[in-house]
């Protein structure tokens, strides 16, 4: 049997029926990677020996698989996660050769429940970017069209799952880095509520915005990964002590609920017409399911972009100070003084977009500018949160397209940062407000490229988010596959 496009649910059913064993599945995925990834460049590291060793220990546990909710599930992990023994470059030359001395809490929990890491995947350097073109290790290509970007920054995570190189993957989302690539690659991508998943062991970009989340083919798979990975972590002081619902159980009961979806038409102005059309037809599907569409007002979302590009770079300028060539990672060969050791190691090791944001953040935090920039941005952030709080008195979810356009061509936006930043116009406010946001495919544009639909939930409202999008998914029917997988299982 051909492997690649199965869901977690399908693999688990196959294991249960003893149709195959973890080693067979993992071997197939490793084969897929070696055959297909040359074109995509989504994997930065595979360790077949290690991965198969792990699969073999699972083979022996197949009779106990009911205790392992992710038994034998091939998982790709963004290269800004630390997994003991694996590299963690975060897509940067400054961390090339860096081997993780410990494992991120999220990965640790997934592995403990049976997931098998098949590789570390490419991303924009330090998760800064919307196209995966900022990786020091080359761009990732979109399995739907190899001339196009997979989105970013978790482009490797989305391309890998879309191309059948992993069943699910992990990404991080600071301003849209899971939802936008999920949208551009036709997958389900979730950015959980801030604090829902531990950030321990992910390379920090902007601490107050970063969240870990899954890429998957279905909402159920996303819910399964989330119920294993979520919850308080004593090693992350910003993780929440809220209890974690059994997300999949709520989906399995198949309970039908109707919801009110809030739409802000003013916010949606300027999206591509194919995207707008697909979004509207998705709304029709929801209506048919019995949902109500209400008009809401999000007056401050127009400031989200500028707010984000003050807060995120400010935090980044400090978070990235540790990559200085002193303790680990890249060190210049040509330093004659400690001053030069710093400036050259960083100058040579860090890429252009990251430097741009470090400069921006350093400036925003400087004496004399702090109040006008950093402080003001945080005040606006509060206003944006209040917009959503108010909206949620009128509706259960705020909905929008995930991205104003579908996958664009490599190089198309690299010369104009602002144009690139606008890819995240619908996702940024969600991070600023700390809310959960889910992107799921809702259609194809005229070029046969996937379009994403975003549902934004109340804080810690993941269960409802899953329920609503699962119902939509049932109504929508199976989503298309990229052409490179046509004819493959």
Partner 1 sequence: MSLEKYESVIGLEVHAQLMTQSKMFCRCPNQFGSSPNTNVCPVCTGQPGSLPVINKKAIELGVRAAVALSCEIHPESVFARKNYFYPDLPKGYQISQYERPYSTQGHIVVRLKSGDEKRIGITRIHFEEDAGKSNHESYGTLVNLNRAGVPLIEIVSEPDMRNAHEAGQYLRALHSILRYADICDGNMEEGNFRCDANISVRLRGTEKFGTKVELKNINSFKFVEKAIEYEIQRQVFAIESGEKIIQQTRSWNSGKNVTEVMREKEQAHDYRYFPEPDLPKLMISSKWFEQIKKEMPELPKEACERFKKAFELSDYDASVLTSSKELAKYFEAVVAHCKNGKASANWVMNELLGRLNAAGREIGDTPVSETQLAALIKKIDSGEISGKIAKTVFEEMFATSKDASSIIKDKGLVQISDPAALESVVRKIIEGNPSQFAEYKAGKVKLLGFFVGQAMKETKGQANPALLNELVKKLLDS
Residues in touch with partner 1 (CB under 8 A): 80-82, 88, 90, 95, 98, 101-102, 104, 199-204, 206-208, 234-238, 314-315, 317-318, 320-324, 326-328, 338, 342, 362, 365-367, 370, 374
| Shorter beta-carbon distance to partner 1: residue 23 or 204 | 204
What letters, b where the CB count within 10 A reaches 16 and e where it falls short, cover 195-228?
Answer: bbbbbbbbbbbbebbbbbbbbbbbbbbbbbbbbb
| Shorter beta-carbon distance to partner 1: residue 229 or 251 | 229
| Shorter beta-carbon distance to partner 1: residue 95 or 128 | 95
Residue 443, φ and ψ in degrees, nearest 5: 165, 180
Q: How far apart are CA 310 and CA 202, in angstroms?
A: 21
| Shorter beta-carbon distance to partner 1: residue 379 or 393 | 379
- Whether 120 and 78 have beta carbons less than 8 Å apart is answered as yes
Name the token pair of 81. 């996660």
Least Å from the CB of residue 330 to partner 1: 13
What is residue 143's three-state secondary structure? Answer: coil
Report the Cα–Cα distance between both ends of the chain, in Å, rounded.
8
Least Å from the CB of residue 350 to partner 1: 13
Q: How far apart are CA 435 and CA 447, in angstroms?
A: 32
């496009």: which residue's tokens?
Answer: 5
Least Å from the CB of residue 316 to partner 1: 11
Least Å from the CB of residue 387 to partner 1: 22
Q: How far apart are CA 213 and CA 196, in angstroms?
A: 10
Name the token pair of 238. 């910003």
Least Å from the CB of residue 82 to partner 1: 5
| Shorter beta-carbon distance to partner 1: residue 71 or 200 | 200
What letters, b where the CB count within 10 A reaches 16 and e where it falls short, cover 52-68?
Answer: bebbeebeeebeebeeb
| Catalytic annotation, residues | 78, 153, 177
- Whether 420 and 130 have beta carbons less than 8 Å apart is answered as yes
- Whether 465 and 455 have beta carbons less than 8 Å apart is answered as yes
Least Å from the CB of residue 370 to partner 1: 7
Find all residues with CB under 8 Å of 458, minimum gap 6, and list them: 392, 396, 435, 436, 464
| Shorter beta-carbon distance to partner 1: residue 15 or 374 | 374
Nearest to 170 by CA among 213, 199, 229: 213
| Shorter beta-carbon distance to partner 1: residue 315 or 464 | 315
Q: How far apart are CA 236 and CA 208, in angstroms?
A: 12
Least Å from the CB of residue 311 to partner 1: 9
Which DSSP state fits 165?
S
Q: How far apart are CA 56 and CA 72, in angstroms?
A: 10
Q: How far apart are CA 38 and CA 120, in angstroms?
A: 15
Least Å from the CB of residue 208 to partner 1: 4
Neighbouring CB atoms inside 10 A of 334's CB total 9
| Shorter beta-carbon distance to partner 1: residue 327 or 486 | 327
| Shorter beta-carbon distance to partner 1: residue 237 or 418 | 237
Least Å from the CB of residue 291 to partner 1: 36
- Whether 385 and 432 have beta carbons less than 8 Å apart is answered as yes
- HSE-CB at 75 with a 13 A cutoff on CA atoms is 32
Find all residues with CB under 8 Å of 155, minimum gap 6, and list them: 42, 122, 123, 124, 131, 132, 135, 139, 140, 149, 181
């Amino acid at each position: 049997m051909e492997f690649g496009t199965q869901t977690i649910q399908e693999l688990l059913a196959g294991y249960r029926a003893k149709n195959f064993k973890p080693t067979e599945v993992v071997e197939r995925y490793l084969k897929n990677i070696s055959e297909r990834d040359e074109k995509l460049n989504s994997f930065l590291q595979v360790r077949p020996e290690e991965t198969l060793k792990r699969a073999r220990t699972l083979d022996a546990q197949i009779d106990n698989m009911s205790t392992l909710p992710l038994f034998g599930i091939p998982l790709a992990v963004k290269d800004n996660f630390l997994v003991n023994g694996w590299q963690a470059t975060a897509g940067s030359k400054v961390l090339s050769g860096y081997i993780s001395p410990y494992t991120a809490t999220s990965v640790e929990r997934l592995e403990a429940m049976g997931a098998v890491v098949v590789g570390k995947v490419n991303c924009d350097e330090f998760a800064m970017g919307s196209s995966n073109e900022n990786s020091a290790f080359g761009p990732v290509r979109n399995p739907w069209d190899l001339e196009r970007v997979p989105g970013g920054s978790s482009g490797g995570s989305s391309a890998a799952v879309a191309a059948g190189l992993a069943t699910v993957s992990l990404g991080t989302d600071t301003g849209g880095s899971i939802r936008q690539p999920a949208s551009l690659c036709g997958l389900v991508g979730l950015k959980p509520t801030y604090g829902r998943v531990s950030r321990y062991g992910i390379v920090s970009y902007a601490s107050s915005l970063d969240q870990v989340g899954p890429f998957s083919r279905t909402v159920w798979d996303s819910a399964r990964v989330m119920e294993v990975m979520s919850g308080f972590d004593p090693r992350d002081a910003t993780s929440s002590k809220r209890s974690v619902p059994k997300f999949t159980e709520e989906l399995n009961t198949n309970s039908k609920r109707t919801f009110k979806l809030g739409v802000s038409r003013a916010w949606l102005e300027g999206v591509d017409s194919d995207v707008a059309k697909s979004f509207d037809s998705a709304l029709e599907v929801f209506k048919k399911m019995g949902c109500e569409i209400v008009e809401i007002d999000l007056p401050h979302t127009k400031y989200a972009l500028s707010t984000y590009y003050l807060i995120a770079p400010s935090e980044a300028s400090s978070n990235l100070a540790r990559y200085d060539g002193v303790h680990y990672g890249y060190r210049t060969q040509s330093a004659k003084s400690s001053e030069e050791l710093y400036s050259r190691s960083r100058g040579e090791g860090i890429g252009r977009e990251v430097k741009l944001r470090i400069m921006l953040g350093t400036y925003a935090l400087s004496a004399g500018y702090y109040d006008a920039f950093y402080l003001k941005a945080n005040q606006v952030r509060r206003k944006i949160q209040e917009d959503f709080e108010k909206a949620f008195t009128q509706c259960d979810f705020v909905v929008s397209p995930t991205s104003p356009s579908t996958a664009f061509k490599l190089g198309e936006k690299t010369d104009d940062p602002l144009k690139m930043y606008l890819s995240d116009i619908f996702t940024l406010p969600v991070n600023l407000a700390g809310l959960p946001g889910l992107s799921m495919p809702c259609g194809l544009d005229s070029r046969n490229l996937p379009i994403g639909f975003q549902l934004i939930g109340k804080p810690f409202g993941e269960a409802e988010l899953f329920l609503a999008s699962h119902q939509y998914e049932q109504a929508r029917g199976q989503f298309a596959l990229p052409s490179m997988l046509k004819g493959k299982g």
